[in-house]
Structure formats: structure tokens, C-alpha cells
Structure 1
């Protein structure tokens, strides 16, 4: 697990140990001492610390920086880049790094913004237009001569299926290649065009599932891209001997997930204009969707936090009610025990008086033994002397509510 980044959820108890810090705080840490010294102080490997900082866009001192600084030679810091689309303003830090910043956490993020940096305009439509200009013209290849490296996994799988069919004694029972039909080839070409341009702009793309849908990591947030005909069935388990399914009647569709702001473009279909003609628009929307996901994540996280606090308060009230009920029961037990103890003491006094007045005949030694025995029993029952009153005098601390 990385010491920086991770889930934006605040629900689980283990995340109470995590803290959020700004990129500037991590930048100042990275330039405060050599990586070897910092990693030793934090108890993590130098490689792990360096990789975590670089992954989240924190520039590090170049080789020889600390030697030059110690020798009094002029040195220059690489400035911290402005936030890019989809990057969190505050990053989760874990473990010993969280302990380092526990008393100096970053200021909370506002779901209403502002979000503007030199790389990110406040308006998402403007961000989409800026990304579209940066992308320029995109063409979908007619043949996958140099496919994106992520797509090569799907193509190699089809090659292995073809090899197995060619060498099998029962080829009709072997799994058929998925991307033989023209419709599937078209999906691959569109996915390739999108992934190539997004990778060129620095956004990581990876496949998921059996189809050419993929995930794009824009900054610190993922956008899922589905490319499919509505209602179509998967071809991943089709046997070589099975007939080809009829071409889908529904138009090919591209959809973005998960939730995006209302009105944000998230679906495109073959209509008067084919999907191949709007690949650049879709790629620009994916980049803006990464920024939209960041902004929504703040609201979702604050909502989760409010729900968690409400849940914890509900558990606290339940525990308080149970504690009060137990305290009241202990109070009533004290009253009953005290009455019993006082009754025993009254009985001792009454017997002693009766013997002194001659109404009862008992030798002094036996009377003394009995009075001591009965008094000890009264003291044992007495809630004040036994300490039973502590059950309601002292309020027990409520246990953790998770």
C-alpha cells in the first residue's frame, strides 16, 4: 500500500488514522532534507517514499542538490507545478507519514470551490474546450497496426485462441476469438484512438473486463469508458463452432462512469455523425470528467463523513441510554440493599434490647457471637461499605462507537 493517496472514503474506522495534507506540505517535506534521511525518520524505504511523491506530482531535488547546498554553491528548487485536472488539492497520507502531519493537517476542501489554477479553469465546459484544443485532430485507424499497449493484451488472447484452434483435435469446442467480427474490430479501433491520445497527454489507461472498455486515471481520479451496443451479449465464451450472432441492431454507444454532474456530457451514439468523428470530443470530455470526479468526490466525502458522524452519535446515544438504564438499576439495587442492611441492624438492636430487658434469655458469649455475625452480614450487604454504590455514583466512560 502506498503511503500517499488511496480511497477518498472516510467511513471505515482505520481511516481515522489517516490525515489529509496539501501538495505544498509534501513539497516542503521533500525539499527539507535528503530522501535517505527522510525515509529513515519515517521508517520506510527511500524507494517507496520517492515513488509515492513522484506518483503524485511532487518534484524532488535533483542529484547533487544537497552536496551543492552544503558546499555553499547556488542551487535552485524545481517549483511545485500548479494542480492539473483531476488532481486532489489535499492528499491522504498514511502510517508514519500521517503521524508527521497529524498536528498540521491541510485545510478542508470546499465542494463549491474555487478550483482554478493555471492548468484548470473554474468552468468544466471551458476545461473541455481547452482540452479539445490541446488534443487537436484525432483520426481512428483503419487497421490496428500499432495498437495501444493495453489493447495488446486482448489481441494476444485472441492469437492464443487461434493457435489452440489450429492445433486442437476438436477445434469446434475451443473458445473462438472475440475480435473477429467487424463490429468488435471497430470497438478496438475506437478504443485505441481514445487511449492513444489520452496516453499522449499523460493520462494512464488500463483495460478492465473482457471487452475493450477501459479506465482512465485523470490526476487522482478514475473515469470508466464503456464501448458497447446496448443489450449485446459478451463473445468471450463463444465456441469456435458456434454461429456468429446477428449484428447488433442498436447503435454503438460510448458511456462514461461513475456519477458525473447533471448536464455533463457522458454518452455518445452513432447517429447522423459516427463515433469516429467525435473521438477528440470524447477524449476532451474524459479529461474534464476526471476533474468533475474530483469536485464531486469532495461532496461525497463530506456526505460520508456527516453520515459517519451521525452513525457514531446514534451509537453513542444508544450506549448512553443503556448506561443510564444500568445506572438506574444499580441505584435501585443500592436502595434495596441499604434497606436490608438497616433492617438487619435494627434487628440486632431489637434482640439486644429484648435480652437486656429479660424478654429473651441468652448467655452473653452467644449473644456477642451472634451480634458480630449479624453485623458482618449487614456490613457485607450495605452498598456504601461494599462499594456497590460506585455502580451509579461513578459514570462509566462510553466505549468507542466504531
Structure 2
């Protein structure tokens, strides 16, 4: 049966070159199902050399279930995942499934082959052709790390010959990022659905490239990859798994019977504000003091946090309330700031009568406002949060916040040892910085002291040269005949000559020998000269 269908497929496309056969991938439904659930779809389309749209279409026609959004992220962090079984083969789907990866133009082959068995058998008897023994295997290209520079014309030609998602991977950016570059450079690109129409030979005509006064080139820089998820130590992973297993059993209560101390303080403050509002006589101040009533979402948030706070404390942690209502969870002595808020969304509402009265010509007839959605968001606010651990949980219709509490608790438990390790690393780095700063300062003082000593040595040399000149001058004075009876300021000439000799002896830097010279140099410190 397999040979019959294959031969029918080959005869149907006899006008196409034989080399296109090597660009096909053939699977049974079970084989394709196993491939889809073995790795992410983005990796699989790169490995097969196709696009997400072509692979999704083939899976839909063959009724093969694919992983939902977030499946691989949940599996990476050890969260429970669900893999539906392969349903029975739908009618009209004939195996093997053919995935065409030919990038060139022309009519594409159908994703799976359907043919009349009798016709196929007759053709097979006339043209016995065999499947190629060594089909070409497409290997994924490595992600670029260097910028790519091109002209507007080159980028225009590229986006009209290769799908945007596949072309963006070659540049190391996303499809939306490439579209934004094209919009900025006024480069038209294929509209949505263009390549599906191109596959059946009904693609619309290209949009011509408009002229541009700018002659500069376009540089596309690859987007840096996010840091890989950290590998938890085995003991930390086991502790987190135990916390997740213990937390999966607790249930968020429908009523707050014995609220946590933090929740109780919120409720007490709310009642105190209501009491102040009731006792206030001034209507304006009464409205100022009166708090808004708790919504159903607020009460649900209190119940969820009450269950989470008690679970954290059962694991040896502690939840405290800081200044301005900031919440902290102390895990192994490390503080983790977090918050729980209600997700908001922008909505348009019609203008009120007063707003219409003050509306200027040309203004919109509506106004944007943030409206509550009823969905809660749990977010970690600590900036030292270990990289690779999740820091935000958003609930949805499929995943309420109550079901995320085990993962949140396990994340807190796993973050404790990592935060302790990071703090120790920061302290070690700080100590090393202090030591390096001390060594730098000592080296700076040593250089300064050495420079001062050299300065002192040059000063001694200058004094020695000046004393030599003074000594020659004194010898010249001795050779001159003078009247010994002449007194100058109560001294005769001989006495003045003796005075000069005494100063020459006293100020001579070599009077105490070489040791005396370098002793004077060694006595110089880094503070001898203040300039």
C-alpha cells in the first residue's frame, strides 16, 4: 500500500524536477505524533526546514494533537503536563503524510496524498520507481551573532522570496521585529495569507518598492538570547518537589475563619477607616475617610493569600508587612518582596454629558479608562531574584490562581538557598573589592613615597652642586689679598671666611658619607611633600 501511494504521488508530479523528491519528509501519523511531542514546534520546523503554518496545517488535516502554549515551559520546571492520545485516523487521510520543504517557486505538493487505488496500481505497474535511498537531511542553521547589513532593495527582495518568520530567524530576530524594520524603512512586505496563496499558485502581485531619498544601508542586529534556565541543585530540587507535593493538598477556604496576621491587619485597618468615616461630621471629610467596599476579587485575593502565607510559614518561612504595605516573604533569612494585583485592561467608554460639554472639536467621542478584569497576577518584585526562576504568575480561564499556589510555594522554597548563595557571593565579591581597593591604595602610596624620595635625592644633588659653586667662590675669596684689620659688622675677614666654611660643612649632604645621603632619602614619607 505504501509503494502504491508513493508511486501515485510521483506520477501526479512528473512535470516537476526529480530533485524535489529529496526535499520531502514522509511520516506515518504515529511517527509525526511522536516527533511533535518530543520537542517544541519552533525547533521541529527548523529541523524540517518548513514553516509553522505548513506544519500546523498538516497536523490539523491529519487530526494530530499538538502541545498547547506553555507546555514546554511547564515541563521544564517540572509542572504537570497533559498529552492527549493520538485519535483514530480521520477519513480521507492516507499515509504516509508528505511534508514539502521546497523553498523555490512553483506549485507545491499537497500535504498528504489521496489517490484512487486502482489508478495508482495501474501506474505502479507501468512505472516502477523506487524511493530515494539517501534523502537530503536539512540541518538547522546556527543562530547569527553578528549584525547583517544590506540595502533597501536587498531586504525588499528577501521578504518577497522567503516568509517573514523564516527570514527573521536567519537574522536572529523575531518576525514582528523584522516587520517593524520594514515599516520604518518604508519597505512593503507580503500581507497575511500571502504564502498560503503562493503555495497554490494564486499569490497576489508584489507591491512595488517606493523610492526613498535616504541612501543609507540597513543594519539588523540579532536579538540577544535570554539566559538559559538555571539548573537547581539536587537537594534544592528535592525540597521544592516536597513543598509542591505538600501544597497540592491544601485547599483555599471559602471563608476566612482564622485569617493570617497580615490579612487580619488589612481587615482591621479597613474597619477602622469605616469607623472614622461614620464619626466624621463633615461630609467632605467623611467621603475622604470612607474606604471602598471589598469586591469579590478582593475577598478572593484575601483567601488565596491567607492559604499561601500559612503554607510558607509551614515550610519555615515568614510573611511580614513592611512600610507602605509592602509584603515580604522571609525564606532562610532572605527577604523576597512580592505583590498580588488585579489585572487591568483599557476600555473605551462614551463621554459623559459634562465631558461632551467641554470637548474640543476634533476630540474623540470616547475616553480610555482602565477597567478591572477579575484576573489576579502574582509578581516577585525583588531585583536579586535568581535568573531562571519564574517571577510572575498570571491566572486565566484554564489556570486559576488557586491552581498555581503549589508552584508559587515551590518557587519560594527553591529561591531560599539560591538567594543565600547569591548573598554570600555578593559579600565575597565585596570583600574582594575592598581588598583590591586596599591594594590599589597601598600601591598608590608606595609610588607616591618613592616619587618623594627621588625628589629628595634630586634636591640633595642640587644642594651639592650649589655647595660646590659656593666652595669655589670661597676659595677665590681666599686668594684675594685683603686688609685683616677691616671689620664688617664686628667681624674681620678671616672670621667671615671661617663662618662660610662652617656653613659649607654643616649643609654638605655628603658630610656623613653615602650612608648619610641615603638615610636622608629613606626618611622621606608619602606625606613629606604636601603639594
TM-score range for the pair, normalised by the shorter chain length: 0.5 to 0.7
Do the aligned partners of 1:269 and 1:275 also contact (CA within 8 Å) in 2? yes
Do the aligned partners of 2:320 and 2:328 also contact (CA within 8 Å) in 1? yes
Q: CA deviation at 1:330?
A: 2.2
1:278 to 404, 426, 429: 404
Greater Cα radius of gyration, structure 1 or 2: 2
Residue of structure 2 equivalent to 1:193: 307
Structure 1 residues 345 and 142: CA distance shift in structure 2, 3 A: farther
Superposition RMSD in Å: 3.4
Do the aligned partners of 2:243 and 2:406 also contact (CA within 8 Å) in 1? no
The superposition leaves residues 43-65 of structure 1 with CA deviations (integer Å, 9 ceiling, x where unpaired) of xxxxxxxxxxxxxxxxxxxxxxx
Residue of structure 1 equivalent to 2:483: 361
Q: CA deviation at 1:179?
A: 6.8
Do the aligned partners of 1:330 and 1:389 also contact (CA within 8 Å) in 2? no
Pairing of 1:295-374 with structure 2 (within 5 A): 295-352=421-478, 354-355=479-480, 358=481, 360-363=482-485, 366-374=492-500
Do the aligned partners of 2:452 and 2:524 also contact (CA within 8 Å) in 1? no
**Structure-1 separation of matches of 2:439 and 2:259:** 54
**Structure-2 separation of matches of 1:152 and 1:382:** 89
Residue of structure 2 equivalent to 1:131: 243
Do the aligned partners of 2:344 and 2:373 also contact (CA within 8 Å) in 1? no
Q: CA deviation at 1:199?
A: 1.7
2:318 to 180, 204, 217: 204
Structure 1 residues 262 and 393: CA distance shift in structure 2, 3 A: same
**Structure-1 separation of matches of 2:292 and 2:441:** 52
Please state whether the residue corresponding to 2:336 is helix, strand or coil.
Answer: strand
Do the aligned partners of 2:471 and 2:504 also contact (CA within 8 Å) in 1? yes
1:393 to 519, 522, 531: 522
Q: CA deviation at 1:166?
A: 0.8
Residue of structure 2 equivalent to 1:143: 255
Do the aligned partners of 2:311 and 2:409 also contact (CA within 8 Å) in 1? yes
Do the aligned partners of 1:138 and 1:279 also contact (CA within 8 Å) in 2? no
2:268 to 133, 148, 156: 156
**Structure-2 separation of matches of 1:176 and 1:348:** 103
Looking at both structures, which has the greater relative contact order when contacts are Cα pairs under 8 Å and sequence separation is at least 6? 1
Structure 2's unaligned 5+ residue stretches are: 1-231, 346-368
Query: How does the TM-score come out when normalised to structure 2?
Result: 0.43
Residue of structure 1 equivalent to 2:389: 264
Structure 1's unaligned 5+ residue stretches are: 1-119, 233-244
Please state whether the residue corresponding to 1:252 is helix, strand or coil.
Answer: strand
The superposition leaves residues 1-33 of structure 1 with CA deviations (integer Å, 9 ceiling, x where unpaired) of xxxxxxxxxxxxxxxxxxxxxxxxxxxxxxxxx
Structure 1 residues 177 and 379: CA distance shift in structure 2, 3 A: farther
**Structure-2 separation of matches of 1:153 and 1:367:** 102
The superposition leaves residues 297-316 of structure 1 with CA deviations (integer Å, 9 ceiling, x where unpaired) of 23323333333333333333
Do the aligned partners of 1:252 and 1:269 also contact (CA within 8 Å) in 2? yes
Structure 1 residues 370 and 151: CA distance shift in structure 2, 3 A: farther
Do the aligned partners of 1:341 and 1:379 also contact (CA within 8 Å) in 2? no
Please state whether the residue corresponding to 1:262 is helix, strand or coil.
Answer: coil
The superposition leaves residues 345-369 of structure 1 with CA deviations (integer Å, 9 ceiling, x where unpaired) of 33333323x15xx3x3344962343
Please state whether the residue corresponding to 2:386 is helix, strand or coil.
Answer: coil
**Structure-2 separation of matches of 1:205 and 1:335:** 74
Structure 1 residues 361 and 179: CA distance shift in structure 2, 3 A: farther
Q: CA deviation at 1:152?
A: 2.7
**Structure-2 separation of matches of 1:224 and 1:178:** 26
**Structure-2 separation of matches of 1:367 and 1:250:** 112
Residue of structure 2 equivalent to 1:225: 338
Q: CA deviation at 1:171?
A: 4.6
Structure 1 residues 317 and 176: CA distance shift in structure 2, 3 A: farther
Do the aligned partners of 2:456 and 2:524 also contact (CA within 8 Å) in 1? no
Do the aligned partners of 2:270 and 2:291 also contact (CA within 8 Å) in 1? yes
Please state whether the residue corresponding to 1:312 is helix, strand or coil.
Answer: helix
Please state whether the residue corresponding to 2:251 is helix, strand or coil.
Answer: coil
Moved more, 215-224 or 373-382: 373-382
Pairing of 1:61-100 with structure 2 (within 5 A): none
Q: CA deviation at 1:154?
A: 2.6
**Structure-1 separation of matches of 2:235 and 2:265:** 37
Do the aligned partners of 1:179 and 1:185 also contact (CA within 8 Å) in 2? no
Please state whether the residue corresponding to 2:272 is helix, strand or coil.
Answer: helix
Q: CA deviation at 1:286?
A: 0.7
